Chains A and B, each alone.
Chain A
Amino acid sequence: MSTSRTRLAASTAAALAAALVLSSCGGSKSDDGSAAAADSCVDTSGDTIKLGFLNSTSGAMAISEQTVRDSLLLAAKEINADGGILGKQIEPVEEDGASDPAVFAEKIGKLLTSDCVAAVFGGWTSASRKAMLPVVEGSNGLLFYPVQYEGLEASENIYYTGATTNQQIIPAMDFLASKGVKTLFLAGSDYVFPRTANKIIKQYAAELGIEIVGEEYVPLDSDDWSTQVAKIVKAKPDFVFNTINGSSNVGFIKAYYEQGLGPDTSPIISVSIAEEEAPAMGKDVTGQFAAWNYFQSVETPANEAFIEAFQAEYGADRPTSDPMEAAYTSLYLYKNIVEKAESFDVDDVNAASDGVSFDAPEGTVTIDGENHHIAKTGLIGRINAENQFDVVWSSEGPIEPDPFLEGYDWWDPSAE
């Protein structure tokens, strides 16, 4: 036994030594911190241009991300029927992110460096975006990210076509203040978006004179909310701010109604429940609220055309929602930037992007070339009996994106 142990130790030491030798002899050390990005391999000589669509079609997020894939494919089909981008037909290259950040990182690498797509569209969770960010920056590629998120980010290589916090969270708080809400309970999933959103909510609530009477988190994959909801019952807040994501909402809503709460006692305002999710809650959620930048009920000519085209393609029973609209919009925005730049080159695209706009289903949106976000109108909807949202409040026109909340003097990023 003892000799074997010594041998094991010796072998392990030998393995480590081998690793050190290998690490010292390979590689080139570069003091230059900047990315040694390879030259773009995008082929722009043919009649087609390759674009990557990277969404999870398997795993926990598939149910949401598949809807984004559907609207991206619809937009590509429409643009192709209309003559393509700069006269080139879009050739979609589809990949599955498998609801796993490491897979997103692998697949966006494949799309950018192996398939040589001109841009990638997709991602949903913040984890997937954070995982793709270093890859897309390292290869100087382009990513269009279509989901509302926690802000505090602005990459040269990413365009954010969903809302940042000052276009969704802050308008929701303004709405609550306008309703005379005095006490607020925070319920969220335990990850970056709810944590950051609640940090902003708490600081803004102090400014607005709203008291936070509770703050509870449950892991993303957990459905058990009974203990936390009991605390809501006890605290009797004027409103519940819900930053729960995904199917965990079903468990929350179930516990909420079963413990006797309802829109008349402590109504909920959600930031992740849209047309797609509302009918899947297992309870009648009529009268509850949600903050978005697009609802299927928005009355614009572009939205009418979008819904008609979408339902013609995928079935009359399919609802449209904010992330789907943001994804649809992102492809058209890309087309408009490229046609302004008259080039697919990333640097040319970035130089041309400022001020590019599109008459989106949600209304006209415009890109901020500085932070790569888009100006969007904040909307509050109330769920009706058809699981559609009646718009009950709207910001005064599109809100300029401010991902780092630099224009809000109550915001202190280093405070708890």
Chain B
Amino acid sequence: MSAARRTPLATALRGWGGLLGIALLALALLVVAPAVLSDFRLGNLGKYCCWAIAAVGIGLAWGRGGMLVMGQGVFFGIGGYAMAMHLKLEAAGPGNVPDFMQLYGDGTMPGWWEPFRSGAFTLVAIVVLPALVALVLGYAILKRRVRGAYFAILNQALAVTFATLLVATIKQTGGFNGLNSFPTFFGYNLYDPVNKQMIYSIAAGLLIACLLVVWHLGRSRFGELLVATRDAEERVRFLGHDPANIKLVAFVAAAVMASIGGAMFAPIAGIISPSDVNAAASILLIAGVALGGRASLLGPALGAIAVGYGQSALSESFPNHWSYFQGALFIVVILLIPAGLASLPPRLWAALPRRGRTRKAATA
């Protein structure tokens, strides 16, 4: 749709329609879902929200910035393990060592665990650690103008390395088993349904907050530059901007969002292990974003929630064959609607007869 043909409604929607969408999603997640879903289903939705938070970041880095971030499991894991370490130390009590270190090791705790006793340090680390890692990695990768498939492969390799490292450090990180058994969350008993609902609300609230950040970025000058860099990097460079810096900001923001998602995943799922952060987990996040529509505002989040829900629902109905259905679904979507489900409404809108469209716009 060219600018000349854009109706007043569409112009208005471009700016504020996104906000309306976020508001509707907030209503659904924060008001409707807690009222109608059972504790168990709400907990599952909380898990999907955590993936959605990471997906929103991927939407920014990949959809807007053109960087295929295939290794977001790493940042999801940094946040998840940081939170899980704090919860393990909280469960162990002051001065004590987490149970698994006594089981698998010699009962001594590595020094780098010690700061995570502090809740405040942990919360800061969940944001600052992934930002630092992404800054250093992103600087090294993007300044060298690594792009496209090479960027994706580098990211993917990172996720493989990270998971392998976790598996190999059984005495420090719980290895293949990961970290689990969190009785409390910052003092709140996690067996209590009221508190479970509370951490769900935090996850859903953080998802809404991340969406607002991306919505805001999309309207800013930075957002324009990011999309311009994606579409014509050399031209942006020619105009005097350094595309590496622009992409770096999006990469760091995506890393922080993935970390926040991981940090909420640990207490909601009750576990974080290498299989939640490895290459396969990273690809599943990407799949959700592709399904929903990577370049749209709500597409990545809704896609991630849909993938999570699809996994649960399909595997409950067909415990023996569900993974075939899931694979088939991905193939169908990528083949038939490559821009994701979010591209369907505008396409249907465009397919309407033009007269009907203007009349509808006029009455609106």
Contacts and interface: CB of A to CB of B under 8 A. Distances in A.
Interface stretch (B63-71, B109-117, B214-222, B332-340): B214-222
A131 B245 contact: no
B189 interface: yes
B180 A95 contact: no
A290 B201 CA distance: 51
Nearest to B188: A27
A23 B202 contact: yes
User: A16, A33, A125, A127: which has the most chain B beta carbons within 10 Å?
Assistant: A127
A139 to B, nearest CB: 8
A4 B248 CA distance: 13
B39 interface: yes
A255 B46 CA distance: 46
A38 B189 CA distance: 14
Interface stretch (B148-156, B205-213, B285-293): B205-213
Given A152-B103, A196-B104, A101 B198 contact: no
B7 interface: no
B124 to A, nearest CB: 9
A105 B275 CA distance: 13
B213 A15 contact: yes
A78 B182 CA distance: 39
Interface in A1-59: 1, 3-5, 7-8, 11-12, 14-16, 18-19, 22-23, 26-30, 32-33, 35-38, 57-58
Interface residues of A, number: 65
Contacts of B241: 1
A130 interface: yes
Given A28-B192, A219-B164, A414 B102 contact: yes
A254 interface: no
Nearest to A222: B164
A156 B26 CA distance: 41
B129 interface: no
Contact of B271 (A5, A131, A196): A131
Nearest to B197: A26
Contact of A106 (B183, B225, B269, B323): B269
Interface string A87-101: 000000011101111
Contacts of A36: 189, 191-193
Contact of A114 (B41, B105, B189): B41
Given A58-B323, A191-B176, A192-B170, A113 B39 contact: yes
A1 B224 CA distance: 11
Interface string A317-334: 000000000000000000
A305 interface: no
A38 B197 CA distance: 15
Contact of A95 (B123, B245, B316): B316
Contact of B194 (A28, A32, A100, A195): A28
A411 to B, nearest CB: 13
Contacts of B107: 413-414
Contacts of A35: 191
Contacts of B172: none
A146 interface: no
B346 interface: no
B181 A29 contact: no
B253 interface: yes
Contacts of B323: 58, 98
Contacts of A196: 103-104
Contact of B269 (A11, A22, A30, A102): A102
Given A11-B216, A29-B188, A135-B270, A190 B180 contact: no
User: A18, A102, A113: which has the most chain B beta carbons within 10 Å?
Assistant: A102
A381 interface: no
Contacts of A96: 315, 319-320, 322
Contacts of A19: 202, 205-206, 209
Contacts of B47: 106
B96 interface: no
B35 to A, nearest CB: 15
A126 interface: yes
Given A5-B249, A94-B319, A138-B191, A15 B206 contact: yes
Interface string B219-251: 011100100000000000000010001100100
A405 interface: no
Contacts of A11: 209, 212-213, 216-217
B195 interface: yes
Size bracket of the B interface? 35 or more
Contact of B192 (A23, A30, A114): A30
A15 B315 contact: no
A83 interface: no
User: B253, B272, B276, B315: which has the most chain A beta carbons within 10 Å?
Assistant: B315
Contacts of B134: none
B273 A109 contact: no
A263 to B, nearest CB: 30
B270 A131 contact: yes
A191 B177 contact: yes
A130 B216 contact: no
B213 A12 contact: yes
A154 interface: no
A86 interface: no
A23 B176 contact: no
B79 interface: no
Nearest to A25: B198
B44 interface: yes
Given A33-B183, A101-B180, A7 B189 contact: no
B167 A16 contact: no
Given A29-B188, A134-B270, A7 B220 contact: yes
A110 interface: yes
A416 B216 CA distance: 54
Given A14-B209, A15-B206, A16-B127, A7 B216 contact: yes
B2 interface: no
B40 A22 contact: no
Given A96-B320, A101-B271, A190-B175, A38 B193 contact: yes
Contacts of A4: 217, 220-222, 249
A139 B189 CA distance: 13
A-B complex: 3 closest residue pairs judged by Cβ atoms: A4-B222, A15-B209, A26-B198
16 contacts: A4-B249, A8-B213, A11-B217, A18-B209, A26-B198, A27-B192, A27-B197, A29-B188, A37-B191, A95-B316, A95-B319, A96-B320, A109-B43, A114-B40, A138-B191, A219-B168
Given A131-B178, A131-B180, A134-B270, 5 more contacts: A1-B246, A11-B217, A28-B192, A29-B188, A101-B271
Interface of B: 38-41, 43-44, 47, 102-107, 123, 127, 164, 167-168, 170, 175-178, 180-184, 186-195, 197-198, 201-202, 205-206, 209-210, 212-213, 216-217, 220-222, 225, 241, 245-246, 249, 253, 256, 260, 269-273, 275-276, 312, 315-316, 319-320, 322-323
